[in-house]
Every structure is written in structure tokens, then in C-alpha cells.
Amino acid sequence: MKITEFVKKELQGWKNYEIIGLFLIIVFILASAFLLEDSKIAMCSAICGILYTVIAGKGKISCYFFGLLGSGCYIWLSFNNALWGNMLLYLCYYIPMQVLGIFKWKNHLKSDTKEIEKIRLTNLARLKILLIGILGSIFSVLILAYFNDKSPIIDGITTFMSILGMYFTVKRAIEQWMVWIIVNGLSFLMWLNLFVHGAKTFSTVIMWGVYFILAIYLYIIWKKELSSVNNYNEK
């Protein structure tokens, strides 16, 4: 398949304002990165991360290509800024889970649109995950504080909640966007604080801010789609 045909197929079902918005965000990241002499790795991480999130929200399996590339860049950024929780999260969990996601999503694609079949969890399952999230976050915060993490509270919460978010992403569950709203909002504040104190990671700040907005937007889109189907696919 030619590249132009592949891109056209991937953009099938996109609204014009979504394409234009994505293009403007990428241009803004590139422009700000050069004007502020931002880290090129941070710039690459931001662009790949945003592309991954948008394409994943569209239910396209090609999102994992950008996810893997962006994860590699983010590992380097986390290492350089002593965010051990985020570094280990991406290295030991995100990358393996994204590889697993490729195979899992491949088995649940709609025959007509080649988008994934979306599901939602039962209220009981949501309650269990909430309790796990609270306990796991507390444990992560204590561990990272012991190892002198620069931002143990936010890094600890986002690290553990991201584990749950990625798990839901692979499962194709709408609950992932609820988790990502929390993770992205806190991560935005964490990286903004690092930028204010001298880290050349403005692209990363933009990335998490866009992630936060996208998580809200994609939750609404997925909710509308699931509500329009008689079988809510609860699991």
C-alpha cells in the first residue's frame, strides 16, 4: 500500500477541525521548540505522544508506532530530570504493553472501518479499580520519596495511575480516558514546575496540556459512540 493511500485510509472518519487542530498543535510545538531552544528530544516526544493519543482515540492500531517512538524519547527526558517513577514506568511497562496492545487490538478490529471495538466496565469493576488506584498511588509515593525523587507525590500518583490507564487502553475500555484526565492534569503541573525551574522541556509541558484536553474530548466521543449502541459491551 502506498503511503498516500495509507494516510488517506487512516484519516477516514476524521472531522476537518480535528485535522486542522492537530496540524496547528504540531506547528506550535515546532515553532516554540526552536524559539525557546527547547530539547529536540522533548519536541519529538511531544509530537509523537500527541499523535499517539489522537490516533488511539480514533481506535487505529497505527497509534502504537508513534507510542513506541514517543516512549523512547520520554524515557530519556525522565532520566535527565531524575523522574525515576516515570522513567521506569515507560521503560518497563509502557513499551511492553504497547507491543502487547498491537496484538490485542488486531484481534478486535471492526471489519468495515478497521477501528477497535470499544467497551466499558461495570460499576463494580470501576470501584475495584478506584481502590487499587488509591492504594497503589500511596505506595508509589512512599517508594519514590525514599529514593529522593524530585516530585514524589505527583510522580508517584501519575506513575501508578498510568499503569491502570495503559491497561485500560489495551483492553479498549472507555475508563482509560477517566484515568488519563487525572494523569495528564497532574503531569502537566509536574513538568510546568520543572520548566519554571530551568529545565528545557517546554514541549513536554505543551504535550501534557494537550493530552489533558484530548482526554476530555475523547472521553466524550467514546461515550457518545457507546451510548449509540444497544450493547454497551460491559465487562
Picking from 214, 152, 132, 154, the residue whose alpha carbon sits closest to that of residue 180 is: 214
Q: Is the pLDDT of residue 133 over 80?
A: yes
pLDDT at residue number 4:
65
* Cα distance between the two ends of the chain: 36
Please work out, in degrees rounded to the nearest 5, the angle formed at the alpha carbon of residue 197 by the alpha carbons of 76 and 95: 20
Please write the tens of the pLDDT for every residue from 210-231. Answer: 999 999 999 999 999 888 765 4
pLDDT at residue number 231:
47
Please write the tens of the pLDDT for every residue from 76-102. Answer: 988 888 888 778 888 998 899 999 989
Q: How far apart are CA 225 and CA 59, in angstroms?
A: 12
Against a cut of 0.85, is the pTM above it? no
pLDDT at residue number 106:
87
112 band by pLDDT with thresholds 50, 70 and 90:
confident
pLDDT at residue number 213:
94
For a pLDDT cut of 70, what percent of the chain falls above it? Answer: 91
Please write the tens of the pLDDT for every residue from 52-69. Answer: 888 888 888 889 999 999
pLDDT at residue number 149:
79
139 band by pLDDT with thresholds 50, 70 and 90:
very high
pLDDT at residue number 216:
95
Please write the tens of the pLDDT for every residue from 140-196. Answer: 999 988 888 778 898 889 889 988 998 999 999 999 999 999 999 998 998 898 888
Q: Which three cell numbers stand for residue 233?
A: 459491551
Four-point Cα dihedral 194, 197, 200, 203, nearest 10: 50
pLDDT at residue number 80:
86
